[in-house]
Structures are given as C-alpha cells and as structure tokens.
Structure 1
Amino acid sequence: MDYDIKKLSDELRLYDHQLYVSYENDNLFKAPKLLEEDMQSFDPNTLYVGNASTLIKVLPVKCPANILVIPDIDIGTNDLNKFNVNLIVLNKNENLMKVFNEVYKIITSQYEFVPLWEAMLKSFVNSKGVQDIIDIGYELLGNPISLGDVNGILVAYKASAELLSELGWDVWVEKGKVPYDSLDYIKFKRNFSMINESDSPIHIKETGKYEAITGKVVIDNNIEGYLTVIGAKKPFKEYDIDLVSLLCSVVSSELQKHKAFYKTNGTMLSFMITDLLDGKIKDDKRLEKMAKLLGLKLRGNLYVLTISLKQKNPELGYVNYLLDFFENTMIGAKSILYDDCIVILISNSKGNPLSDETMNHLIEFMIKNDICGGLSRCFHDLIDMPYFYKQSLKAIELGMQRSSEEVFFTYEDNAIYHLLSSCSKQEDLEMICHPSLSMLIEYDKYNGTNYTHTLHTYLLNKGNLTDSANALHIHRTTMVYRYQKIQSLMEIDLHNMNTMLHLYLSFIILRFINKLDYNTLACLEQINKLFS
C-alpha cells in the first residue's frame, strides 16, 4: 500500500493522535526521515518525524511539509492549520526512535530491507556506535560504504577484503586519511559543490568502473562528514538514495546523541579517543599514525581526569558549559563526553599534572556544580589510556566510599584501598589486622586512655619518637613512657619493621571496613597523611 498523510493517520493505530491538514496533495511517502532543527527545505514525498521541541525551531517552513510530531513539550494546536504543514500530533509523549521505527515499518512494509533497517534503528537506540550503524548499512545497501570527516580522515567503513585494494581503500585504512590522488577523492572533489548544496545524497554517474552515492552528515548546520556508497557489488536500486539519506540522518543523530565530538579538534579526534576507551584500537602504531594525522601533540607525562556526572544523558548545553570550563582551565587538555562522564586527557612535561591554583579552582567548581572527579596515575603511552581511565573511575568509587563530602580523588591516594577491595572478595579483611590492635582500642575505651592515638601518631611519623611527641604536643619523656606502655600492653616490638607495617596496614583496613572507632582516634583526620 502507498501512503499519504491521511492513509498513514488511518494506519497509525498504536498511537492516539490528531491529524491537521493544511494543504491537499497527491504525494505518496517513500520513507520517513528524522526531523532536525536546522532543516530549511522539505521533500513533499517524505514524512518527517520529530519532537515538538524540534518543530518549533523549524516553523514556519518555506515549502509544504508532512510532519509527525511527538509532544515532548506542550504546543498550542489552535494555530497549527495556519502553517504550510500537514501534521500528525500524538496525544502523549513517546520514545522518538520507537515511533520512527513503527512509521518506517508501515511506509516501507513492501520493501525487502525492513528487517535490516530495524536492526540499524536498534543499534542506534542501544548506543552501539557509528561503526555498528555502518555495518548494518552495508548489509542494507549491499555495497561498500565509508564515512569520513571533512578533512578526509576515515571514521568508519565496511567493505569486503578483496574490494579494499580495488577501491583504493586499503591505503585509506592504513594511513587513516584518503589519498588526494585516489579515484574516490578525485570524484568527490569534482562533485564537491553539488554534494554540499544538495539536501539529499547525490548519485554520481561518472565514466569509470563504479557509480557512487554520496551524502553529507550535518550537525548544527555544519557539515561534519560525508558518507559514500560505491556500487561495486550490485547495481543501485531506485530507493538506495533514500536509504543513504536515512543512513546519513541516523549517523548524524548518533553523533549528536553521544556529543563526543563537541569541544575537540574535530569529530575524528573524539572518535579516536572513544574507540580507544572502547578497546577497539589495540595497535599502537596505528594509534600513533592517527594521532599524528590529527595533530595531537602530547607531552611526556599523561593523566586521565574523569568527571562523574550524576545525571544520565545530560543536556547538551550543560555538557558544553562543563567542557568549556575544563578546557579553559587546563590548557591543552583534550576532553570528550563518554559514558555520561567527561573524560579529560592531560599531558605535561614534568611535575604535577595540576598546579595548586588549578586544583583549588577545579575543586571549587566541582563543589558548585555538584560533580566529582578522579585522577589516574601518570602514564607515558597513549595506548594505555583505557587502563588509566579505569583507574580514574576507581579513584572516584573508592574515594566516595571513604568520604562523601570530598569531590576530588586521586588513584595515588586510593591505591591501597583498591588492593584491599580486591582482597576483600576472597578474604575477611578484619582477620588480616594485627590481633593486639583491637585489644588496645578496647583498653583505651575501658580506661579512658589514648594509646591508640599515640600508636597511630608514632606510625604516622615513621617511628620517630621526637617527631611523634611534637605532633602530640607532649614531652619526649611522656612519649617514651607511652611507647613502652604500648609495647607492654600489646606484647610487641615496635622496633620490628614487619610489626610496624602490619599495624600500619591494620589502621587502613579498619577504616576501609568502617570498623575504626572515630571517637577513640582523636585526630583521625591525620590518617590521610598515611597515604601521602
């Protein structure tokens, strides 16, 4: 069955809706397309599907259009007939991609590619990434497909091994950037203006072995890349241009959904870091070439600072606000939005990754915005970034367990707790503690003494009696008496380094498992110095 706006309204039984017809036409829908806020022209043979918040940015339109609207915000319906638009308005908010998928099945039910298109939408909804969408697009179209950014840098591709060399893509894949003397680039350059000016993909029918269809990927009115399909395996079908157009739209929406490209030196840099964190890049030579192509200049010492955002799927404006701050505060840092966190790659020549002034500025900002961050240890090879990203996440996790009031945590300060956390899965940590320490704590409680505090201070000062006495503001003779008394009560030798290490670790364990009596240990805040 062929569908116009009225027939589609009759068929759309799953959703309660209202139909507003502003003009009559005989145009039949070929396929739906996602409504984007930067659209300026519309195809009368296309049904556009989008949220009401997007519609109000598009209206008024310059030409007739057919739009299905999901009311994610309230819109007045009284004046809708005034616009040159036929509208189907759902009566309640629904998931955009779920509705799009249903409409697509209705309109294209006679097409053989519906199952694959559903798989691509599922990939989009489940955030499997651009490469997964390109893989499904390859099955959908049955021909080699590539996605490159505006600088000719390869973002994703799918082609059989035997065609890579024939198409000249083997060099593109190896070097990461399209050779300027390649047939693809020559064809593309020849049709550059036509592709940029067209609202839909262009069918390039030049003399040569294969035809091509090329469409642009547009984000916020900016062309960010180009998607090209080469008719190398089978001839193009009549509706392939529509499929490429839909594919460009889904890729664009995927990029906007992840927002990984914002505030970086281009889309490809963000994809490189995202793929690296996803474990998709494991060849350090390939990574080195990509970094060089992108002009990524890193100094010797690298760190990962991860900012944990409490809200899931944060708003773009909020993300950009945060990215602006972090990149302006840490000059030269590269940041992306990844898995609802802001991941920042810091590089410097020597010394600490953050000055005291920068650190204080960051902490003040994080407190103000109710976010927290974790800093990894130093590393020197970019290929190791995934491991140190996990370190930064572990610093946040363990730091928050220790103190919910702090907002900035380093893995260096939490490494011992990571060790204990790993051990606790196999052992009862309290059993590892020195048995006489609990006896000393109980003795202090019963007798009103403070030998536990004294012992802690002694360990804190690395067994130096004079420094311990000064820290406790007591005479050295008093410190010596307490020292001897502790040895007598616990029946231990505090000259023994193994004993000191065991006691040192015991204090940390008791704090980790929340068994340390905070009232007994009067100066508990000094425990943090144990890890410095």
Structure 2
Amino acid sequence: MDNGTEKSGSYGQFASQLLGALAGDRGLQSIVEIGFKMLQNPLIVTDKSWKALAMASEVDVPDDKDWNALRENGLLTPDAVAAGVRENLADRIDRSDAAFRYQTAGMAYPRIFKRLTVGEKTAATVSVLEYLKPFSEEDVPLLNLLCDAVSAELQKSRFRQYSRGMLYEDFIWNLLEGRLTDPRAIEERVRLLNLGLKKNIYIFVFDVREYDVRQFSVSYMRDTLEQMISGGRAIVYNNYIVITASFSRARDIFKTELLNLGVFLKKYNIRCGISRRCTQPSELRFYYEQALDAMRVGTHMDGDRYIYPYGEYAIYHISEACAGAGGVKKYGHPALEALMAHDREYQTHFTASLYAYLRSFKNITNAAGALHLHRNTMVYHLKRIEEIMDLSLDNYDAVQQIELTFRLLEYDKKIERYLKWDELPESDH
C-alpha cells in the first residue's frame, strides 16, 4: 500500500470514529481523545475565556506550565492570559479561518491554533501542542476534520449547556432582584431545574471596577474566581462578580481558606465582601447587600486588605450607622470621655489599659501582656480607671456602652490618638 492510500485509509478510519462518537452521543472528551490519536500530539479545546472544555487526558507535559495549569485547574493562569492579550492572540484566532502555528518566548513548545465556530461565531479554540512529534503538512486535513467534529458536538450540546447555565443565572438574578420570594416556590424550582443549590449559602461579591480589563476580560475573571471557591457558581450582576457558594452542611469561612484568594485579589486590585451564612434562598438579596456592606465598611476600616467577611465588620457597620446619626458625641459614653480627658491632661495611658482589658475579654493577665506591663500595674490601672470614670467595670450595661464607644472611635480613625502601644510606661499617675 502506497503512502497516499495509507493516508486516505487513516483519514477515512478517523472520520468513521468521529462520526461514531457524534452519533453515539459520547461527548466532547471522546472526540478529543480520538483527535489525540489522529494528531499524535497533546490537544485541548477551550472556550473564549480560555476555560478548558476538554483535553487529551493521557499526556503529561512537565515543562510547560501553561499546559499544566489547564490540566490541573481547567483555566490558563492570569499571567498567561495577559501575555496572550499583549500579543493579540485572541484577535488573531478570531480573524483566522485557517489553522496557524504560534509560539512566544514564554511557551516551551509551539502550538497550532484553530478557531471553532457555531452559528458563524467563534465559540471555542482547538490548540495542539508540538510535543510528541513535529508538526507536518499531513496534520492540516486531520485537524480540519477534527475541528468539524468538535464544532458539530458543540452545536449539538450548545443548547443543553447554554440552557443550564442560563437557567441558573436567571434563577440567581431573580433572587437578587427580589422577584422570587415564596420559599416553597423557590425550593420547588431548585428541585425541578436540578440547580444543585444546597442548604447553606455564602455570597461573595467582587468589585472588579478597579482592575485593568486590558489584561483579560471580566468573563475570564469570573471563571477564574469561580474555580478558586469550592462549591461556587459565578454570575456578573450590577457590574460585580457575584458567587453563590453552597454547602450541604453549615461551615464557616476561615481565614486560612481564603489566603490564596487574598493574594490573588491583591495582585489584581479586586476587593471582596463575604456575607454571613444564608439558609433561605428567598433572602439572597439581603445577604448580597450584606456582602456589599462588608466590602464598603471593610475598605474604610482596612484599606490594605482585600477580603472582608461581614462577621468581622458587623460592629463597624453599626458604627457606620451611628456615625451618620451623631457619632461619638451622641452615642459615646461620657465616662470614657472623662477618662480620655484625664489622659490628655496628665499624660497618662489609662484609656489604652481599658481598651486592652476589654479586648482581652477582661482577662487581666492577657491585657497586661498585650501592653508589656506587670500584672500588678494593670490591676492598679483598673482601680484608677474605675475611680476616674466613677463606675464599676462589673457594670454590664456601662461596659457595653463603653465597648460601643471604642468601636465608634475606631470607625472614626480617632482611637490612635489615645493608644500609644509602644510608649506605655510601667506606671501612671
């Protein structure tokens, strides 16, 4: 058998396999695995936000970090996407009807890119990595055949996938708009639509207005953030990225779980507010607004942070409301003002001692340690504080009002005037 006949036979064999995969409804992954046998090189199908739809699962390419990112996370790294934007790669793919070879300095191996269309619009891209064998002219008709099959599969599954995504987005959008309020009707819709929304929900709201959209699109950022939050589903709503993360069992959002997310958000200048746990989807609008409150108040209090769980800022949300209605002058306890006036007049630091004592849950030893004081000195301070304020620190109501006054001072950024942590002497007047 000559080479021409052999190539023709291989082409026909692969065409038959692809047709069988399409007719048998075996899915996109099956088609990509056939494509790997056809081209004898790793390949991947990505959507327009560079999210992996399917890739050859048998291939390990240890020295290509972008390929590994796609294998491990299903998304290109933001740096890789930004590099592609700088090189106008997406635009070139959109403008090219034919496949083209491409390599930048950051790519360990050359690629062949071929755009896929559904309804005359670019829907996805097939990328082939020149890793196991060099590219050849014989790859072109095989790649075109593969792309025709992938396009047909995308066309076939487009309505199903699009409908599921749109049903979820429409459902969440209506909840956020307050258009769905009947708990029983909502529960029934979740069941009928098989949306996978579980009992315990947290709302993450990301403010993407300050990050540089020239690096990559909001849709790419949406998909990237969705990947970083387990149990999360993302939509774009009111110019924010909103993620509903739901879990079967109640759980808290711990700082350690958010560490990587915080590093990422800082890099791209994105801030995030997180609601408390929501157990009723009908109240999603309330918790969305709570996440916005957390982000606004948190940014005011801690501008150097990028993640703001509402639980950490709830007291400052109260302080914000008080500040708008009279603030410390109206709601502050006069006894604390008397103590601060004494500190100003006599250059003492009793306000700092009281603050540390209350922040330490009235534990004298811990408060003394926080201020590097001897315990006996702290005992003396507390005695003098009660004398100056003319009240007992065992008076629950008075102490609660003093606590609120401290929070108001913190919100107004005034408390540093009275708390000189590194200048406290061993004794005061």
TM-score range, shorter chain: 0.5 to 0.7
For residue 346 of structure 1, give the secondary structure of its aligned residue in structure 2.
strand
Letter in 2 for 1:520: Y
For residue 345 of structure 1, give the secondary structure of its aligned residue in structure 2.
strand
Question: What is the Cα deviation at residue 59 of structure 1?
Answer: 8.8
Distance in 1 of aligned mates of 2:260 and 2:413: 31
Letter in 2 for 1:325: T
Distance in 1 of aligned mates of 2:262 and 2:229: 13
Query: Which segment is superposed worse, 263-272 or 496-505?
Result: 263-272
Distance in 1 of aligned mates of 2:312 and 2:225: 22
For residue 379 of structure 1, give the secondary structure of its aligned residue in structure 2.
coil
For residue 344 of structure 2, give the secondary structure of its aligned residue in structure 1.
helix
Question: In the alignment, is residue 328 of structure 1 matched against residue 227 of structure 2?
Answer: yes
**Aligned with residue 478 of structure 1, among 367, 371, 377:** 377
**Aligned with residue 196 of structure 2, among 279, 288, 297:** 297
Answer yes or no: is the 8 Å Cα contact 2:371–2:421 preserved in 1: no
CA 1:289–1:479 in 2, change beyond 3 Å: closer, same or farther?
Answer: same
Distance in 1 of aligned mates of 2:239 and 2:363: 47
CA 1:381–1:506 in 2, change beyond 3 Å: closer, same or farther?
Answer: same
Letter in 2 for 1:458: Y
- Structure 2 counterparts to residues 349-428 of structure 1, below 5 A: 349-350=248-249, 352-428=251-327
Question: What is the Cα deviation at residue 292 of structure 1?
Answer: 2.3
CA 1:446–1:508 in 2, change beyond 3 Å: closer, same or farther?
Answer: same
Distance in 2 of aligned mates of 1:355 and 1:322: 23
Question: What is the Cα deviation at residue 461 of structure 1?
Answer: 2.0
CA 1:323–1:462 in 2, change beyond 3 Å: closer, same or farther?
Answer: same
Distance in 2 of aligned mates of 1:321 and 1:59: 22
CA 1:427–1:449 in 2, change beyond 3 Å: closer, same or farther?
Answer: closer
Determine the structure 1 residue equivalent to 2:419.
521
Question: What is the Cα deviation at residue 270 of structure 1?
Answer: 0.9
Letter in 1 for 2:268: N
For residue 302 of structure 1, give the secondary structure of its aligned residue in structure 2.
strand
Distance in 2 of aligned mates of 1:341 and 1:392: 11
Answer yes or no: is the 8 Å Cα contact 1:263–1:320 preserved in 2: no
For residue 391 of structure 2, give the secondary structure of its aligned residue in structure 1.
coil
Distance in 1 of aligned mates of 2:295 and 2:358: 27
Determine the structure 2 residue equivalent to 1:455.
354
CA 1:411–1:423 in 2, change beyond 3 Å: closer, same or farther?
Answer: same
**Aligned with residue 506 of structure 1, among 378, 381, 405:** 405
**Aligned with residue 176 of structure 2, among 274, 277, 298:** 277
Distance in 2 of aligned mates of 1:439 and 1:387: 40
CA 1:294–1:316 in 2, change beyond 3 Å: closer, same or farther?
Answer: farther
Letter in 2 for 1:281: L
Count, aligned residues = 281
Looking at both structures, which has the greater relative contact order when contacts are Cα pairs under 8 Å and sequence separation is at least 6? Answer: 2
Determine the structure 2 residue equivalent to 1:288.
187
Distance in 1 of aligned mates of 2:311 and 2:378: 32
**Aligned with residue 241 of structure 2, among 335, 338, 342:** 342
Determine the structure 2 residue equivalent to 1:114.
none
* Deviation per residue, 1:151-204 (Å, 9 max, x gap): xxxxxxxxxxxxxxxxxxxxxxxxxxxxxxxxxxxxxxxxxxxxxx9x8xxxxx
Distance in 2 of aligned mates of 1:353 and 1:396: 18
Answer yes or no: is the 8 Å Cα contact 2:328–2:405 preserved in 1: no
Gaps of 5+ in 1: 1-36, 38-52, 61-196, 200-217, 223-261, 525-532
For residue 217 of structure 2, give the secondary structure of its aligned residue in structure 1.
helix
Question: What is the Cα deviation at residue 314 of structure 1?
Answer: 5.4
Letter in 2 for 1:344: I
* Deviation per residue, 1:98-121 (Å, 9 max, x gap): xxxxxxxxxxxxxxxxxxxxxxxx
Determine the structure 2 residue equivalent to 1:490.
389
* Deviation per residue, 1:64-88 (Å, 9 max, x gap): xxxxxxxxxxxxxxxxxxxxxxxxx
Question: In the alignment, is residue 431 of structure 1 matched against residue 333 of structure 2?
Answer: no
Distance in 2 of aligned mates of 1:407 and 1:400: 8
% identical aligned pairs: 27
For residue 357 of structure 2, give the secondary structure of its aligned residue in structure 1.
helix
Question: What is the Cα deviation at residue 394 of structure 1?
Answer: 0.5
For residue 266 of structure 1, give the secondary structure of its aligned residue in structure 2.
helix
Distance in 2 of aligned mates of 1:489 and 1:417: 28
Distance in 1 of aligned mates of 2:365 and 2:262: 35
Answer yes or no: is the 8 Å Cα contact 1:263–1:335 preserved in 2: no
Distance in 1 of aligned mates of 2:201 and 2:334: 42
TM-score, normalisation: structure 1: 0.47
Answer yes or no: is the 8 Å Cα contact 1:264–1:334 preserved in 2: no
Determine the structure 2 residue equivalent to 1:254.
none
Answer yes or no: is the 8 Å Cα contact 1:300–1:347 preserved in 2: yes
* Deviation per residue, 1:129-153 (Å, 9 max, x gap): xxxxxxxxxxxxxxxxxxxxxxxxx
For residue 246 of structure 2, give the secondary structure of its aligned residue in structure 1.
strand
Distance in 1 of aligned mates of 2:378 and 2:254: 38
Answer yes or no: is the 8 Å Cα contact 2:212–2:268 preserved in 1: no
For residue 449 of structure 1, give the secondary structure of its aligned residue in structure 2.
coil
Answer yes or no: is the 8 Å Cα contact 1:264–1:336 preserved in 2: no
- Structure 2 counterparts to residues 111-130 of structure 1, below 5 A: none
Question: What is the Cα deviation at residue 363 of structure 1?
Answer: 0.5
For residue 203 of structure 2, give the secondary structure of its aligned residue in structure 1.
strand
Question: What is the Cα deviation at residue 376 of structure 1?
Answer: 0.4
Question: What is the Cα deviation at residue 55 of structure 1?
Answer: 12
Answer yes or no: is the 8 Å Cα contact 1:432–1:506 preserved in 2: yes
**Aligned with residue 340 of structure 2, among 437, 441, 463:** 441
CA 1:444–1:423 in 2, change beyond 3 Å: closer, same or farther?
Answer: closer
Question: What is the Cα deviation at residue 523 of structure 1?
Answer: 4.2
Letter in 2 for 1:475: H
Determine the structure 2 residue equivalent to 1:145.
none
Determine the structure 2 residue equivalent to 1:118.
none
Distance in 1 of aligned mates of 2:226 and 2:254: 15
Gaps of 5+ in 2: 1-47, 49-89, 98-117, 125-160, 423-429
Determine the structure 1 residue equivalent to 2:40.
none
Question: What is the Cα deviation at residue 391 of structure 1?
Answer: 0.2
Question: What is the Cα deviation at residue 422 of structure 1?
Answer: 2.9
CA 1:493–1:461 in 2, change beyond 3 Å: closer, same or farther?
Answer: same
Determine the structure 2 residue equivalent to 1:66.
none
Distance in 1 of aligned mates of 2:188 and 2:296: 34
